[in-house]
């Protein structure tokens, strides 16, 4: 079975500062990894995904994430955040080669302050 741990439930940050949202996973098989974003009163939107190949993945809105197999991590980063990045971010995992069924972390609420 797989599990996902998002290490911070809330991350406050000032506008234009860098941010890292941490995600660790547990799995006995190889996995695909996803980051989703949820803006207030909306559903989830895909930010980026790691399937294979380069461990640095670039997504929408200037976000990127790095897959680290040895540390079983998939941390999300942005070098300079905007007020509009205020949202909840979810890390998710699914076994590669398995069925399209995601296991989500508990979420990290990013609050960007002016």
Task: Provide the binding-site residues for another protein, judged by CB under 8 A.
Answer: 4, 6, 9, 32, 34, 36, 41-46, 49, 51, 90, 94-102, 104-107
Q: CB-wise, 41 or 114, nearer to another protein?
A: 41
Residue 17 CB, shortest distance to another protein, in Å, is 25
Q: CB-wise, 99 or 114, nearer to another protein?
A: 99
Distance CA 112, CA 96 (A): 34
Q: How buried is 72 (Cβ within 10 angstroms: 0-12 exposed, 13-18 middle, 19+ buried)?
A: middle
Residue 104 CB, shortest distance to another protein, in Å, is 4
């Amino acid at each position: 079975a797989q599990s996902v741990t998002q290490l911070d439930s809330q991350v406050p940050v000032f506008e234009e500062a860098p941010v890292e949202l941490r995600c660790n996973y547990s799995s006995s098989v190889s996995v695909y990894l996803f980051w989703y974003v949820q803006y207030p009163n909306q559903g989830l939107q895909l930010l980026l995904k790691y399937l294979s190949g380069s461990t640095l993945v670039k997504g929408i809105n200037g976000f990127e994430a790095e897959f680290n197999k040895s540390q079983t991590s998939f941390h999300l980063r942005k070098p300079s955040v905007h007020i509009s990045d205020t949202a909840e971010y979810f890390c998710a995992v699914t076994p590669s080669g398995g069925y399209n069924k995601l296991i989500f972390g508990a979420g990290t609420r990013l609050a960007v302050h002016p």
